[in-house]
Structure formats: C-alpha cells, structure tokens
C-alpha cells in the first residue's frame, strides 16, 4: 500500500521561505550594485580615460573567490539571525525612502566628482562649510565626496553609496560585530540590561547603532562622530526605532569626553582605514581608557594584505587608486593587534568575512 505524503513535507517551512526571500533580497541588491557600477564606470572612463589605466582587472580566480566569500558571509548572516543574535527582520531592513529620494542625487553629483578627480582636488569644500576645529587629516574629500563628511547631502548619500560600493553587502558586514559584542558583554551578566553601556565610535549615520539597538534592545547606547551633518542624519534614523534614543555627541575619538572605565562595550565600523597611523594608536588608547575592565572592543574594517588571499591584493591596490583614500595603503599593512596590545588589550582575536576584517579585544579584569 502506497503511503500518503505528509502535508508538512509538501509545504516549505517558514524558515525556508524566509531564507529564500533573504537570498533574493541580497541578490537583488548585488545585481543593482553591479549594474550601477558598470554604467558609472563606462561614463567615468569616457570623461577620465586616464583613470582606466590605473585600475587593474581582477583575475577569474579572484572573482570566483569573491563570490564564494560573499556566499559564506550571507550564510553567516542568516545563521546568526536564526540563532537569535539579532531579529530576522533586521536582515530585510533597508532605507527605501532614502533610496528613492536620494538615488538620483548620486548621479547628479557624479560630474562634480569627476571634476575633482581630473583636477586632483582632494580637499575642496564649499565656502559655507565650517572647517574650524577639525583634524587636518579629516578635511578630505574621502571617496571624492562633495564636501567630504561635512555636508547634509554627503550624509544623505553615504549609506546608499556604500551599499553600491559593496554590492549590497555593507549591512551584512556591519552585522558581524553584533555576535562578538554580545558574547563579550556576557561577562557582565550580573549587570541589569539598561545599565549596560555600549559606545559606537565614528558612528556616522547611525546605521551600526540601529543594528545594535535591535540586538540589545534595553542597553544604553552612545555614539560619537566628528561630523554634525552625519549626527543629524543619525538622529533622524535612530528616531525611527522604538525605545530609548542613543546619546549622540560630536567629538573626536582621539579625545573622548567620557570618564575612565565607563563603557562595557565599544564598536568601530570602517573607521581605521581613514586614519593616519598615529591617530589609529591614539583612538585605540582612548578606547582602552574608557572601557571597563572585562569589557570588549570590536573593530570592523577593510581586509588587510597580511591575511587575505594573494588574488585580493589587486583589489587593495585598486581601492585607493579609484577613491581618495590617503591612509589606506598604510592601513592594509598595519598591525592592529600590536597596536591593541600596546594600549593594554588582551585576548585579541581576528576574523575575516568577505572583504572585511574584525578584531575582538578585551580589557583585562
């Protein structure tokens, strides 16, 4: 007698459908990023033909390895959500309103970028931009952005531009700080959740803080950044979240305005490659000062030459050639483990996910 199939075997599980939706969502962002860059590269090569000579093509092996690492990143992202590190809904969070509002401005801004590239203008700001009180290294047109990090339009375009740059993987790479952060904070299990204090340095538009809030809904969150424009954007973004707003402050991370041993955890996402070497050390020293004994410091930044496949070195050479990143070449060979140890951090571990690298460091009891 032939058995009748169980109906549960015929209907895909909710998890299977959700994972398929997540994969489709990420593939859509990837296809969009590739299409955008394909068109913009053709245009810029028409206006700036000399640029094409500076960029080296990736080998077929490198492209295949990138695809494999992207797949591994997305699998890790899904698994962490499935295991409760953060809500599954966070996987689908996307600033659609900003996308439709500001994507046309990305194209409108391109001729200005091309003009700066042609004229080698790396420190050009409009007259109304206040440049007083900032470190010299910060007054740059990073990525050739109009007015660097000091305008509201720059803040409005930033997240969209970064998602395009990474073909839709910027958020999955950001989320890789959440698991080591939560694991590190488990050392403070006796502390009430609202009394746990977490600082995101160079918080920018607040995107990482928004993810931390989803992962740690009751913790007290703080963010510092040098740009008032980006802090305004962060306040707008974080106001969309229920619960207590993170405390945002305009400050230089080299001189944090907090007491010694104040925070239980600190995060940093895509900051260190935009700092000169001496500033990197000062930032690490300050983070050590304000973190509590037993606290955790999690850094996310670009991959480095020391532990990346040889095939990826072309990417690390292309990046500062395509974008204005004056400190990147030194960063990719800098030993941040040594810098962390010099400051006093212990039990330092590193991880690599796709084209990003992570340092998880602890302050001894």
Q: Using CB atoms within 10 A of its CB, is residue 40 exposed (0-12), middle (13-18) or buried (19+)?
A: middle
Residue 347 maps to a domain: yes
Local structure of 237: helix, strand or coil: helix
Residue closest to 163 by CA, chosen among 172, 151, 153: 172
Residue 183 maps to a domain: yes
**pTM of this prediction?**
0.94
Residue 332 maps to a domain: yes
Q: For residue 138, give both structure tokens.
A: 């910060």
Residue 261 maps to a domain: yes
Residue 144 maps to a domain: no
Q: Which domain holds residue 189?
A: 170-363
Return the H-helix or E-strand segment holding 200: strand 197-201
Residue 321 maps to a domain: yes
CATH number at residue 214: 3.40.50.150
Residue 228 maps to a domain: yes
pLDDT score of 45: 86
pLDDT tens digit at each of 365 positions of the chain: 455 455 444 445 668 899 999 999 999 999 999 999 999 989 988 988 887 777 888 999 999 999 999 999 999 999 999 999 999 999 999 988 899 999 999 999 999 998 998 898 889 999 999 999 999 999 999 988 999 999 999 999 999 999 999 999 999 999 999 999 999 999 999 999 999 999 999 999 999 999 999 999 999 999 999 999 999 999 999 998 887 899 999 999 999 999 999 999 999 999 999 999 999 999 999 999 999 999 999 999 999 998 888 889 999 998 988 888 999 999 999 999 999 999 999 999 999 999 999 999 999 98
Q: For residue 4, give both structure tokens.
A: 């009748």
Residue 239 maps to a domain: yes
Count of domains forming the chain: 1
Return the H-helix or E-strand segment holding 72: helix 60-82
């Amino acid at each position: 007698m032939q058995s009748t199939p169980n109906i549960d075997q015929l209907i895909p599980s909710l998890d299977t459908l959700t994972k398929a939706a997540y994969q489709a969502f990420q593939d859509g962002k990837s296809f969009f990023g590739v299409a955008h860059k394909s068109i913009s590269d053709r245009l810029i090569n028409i206006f700036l033909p000399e640029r094409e000579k500076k960029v080296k093509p990736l080998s077929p092996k490198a492209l295949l390895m990138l695809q494999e690492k992207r797949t591994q990143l997305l699998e890790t992202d899904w698994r962490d959500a499935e295991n409760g590190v953060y809500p599954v809904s966070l996987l689908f969070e996307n600033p659609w309103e900003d996308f439709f509002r500001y994507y046309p401005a990305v194209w409108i801004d391109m001729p200005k970028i091309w003009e700066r590239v042609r004229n080698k203008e790396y420190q050009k700001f409009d007259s109304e931009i206040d440049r007083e009180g900032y470190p010299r290294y910060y007054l740059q047109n990073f990525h050739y952005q109009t007015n660097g990090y000091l305008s509201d339009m720059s803040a409005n375009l930033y997240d969209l531009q970064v998602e395009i740059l990474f073909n839709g993987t910027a958020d999955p790479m950001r989320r890789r700080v959440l698991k080591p952060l939560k694991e590190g904070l488990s050392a403070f299990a006796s502390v009430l959740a609202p009394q746990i204090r977490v600082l995101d340095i160079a918080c920018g538009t607040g995107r990482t803080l928004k993810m931390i809030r989803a992962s740690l809904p009751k913790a007290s969150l703080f963010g510092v950044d040098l740009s008032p424009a980006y802090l305004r954007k962060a306040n707008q973004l974080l106001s969309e979240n229920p619960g207590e707003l993170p405390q945002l402050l305009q400050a230089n991370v080299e001189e944090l305005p907090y007491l010694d041993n104040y925070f239980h955890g600190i995060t940093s996402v895509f900051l260190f490659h935009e700092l000169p070497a001496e500033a990197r050390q000062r930032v690490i020293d300050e983070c050590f000062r304000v973190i509590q004994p037993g606290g955790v410091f999690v850094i996310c930044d670009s991959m480095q030459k020391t532990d990346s496949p040889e095939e990826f070195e072309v990417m690390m050479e292309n990046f500062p050639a395509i974008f204005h990143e004056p400190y990147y070449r030194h960063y990719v060979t800098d030993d941040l483990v040594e810098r962390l140890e010099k400051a006093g951090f212990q039990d330092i571990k590193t991880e690599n996910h796709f084209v990003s690298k992570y340092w998880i460091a602890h302050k001894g009891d």
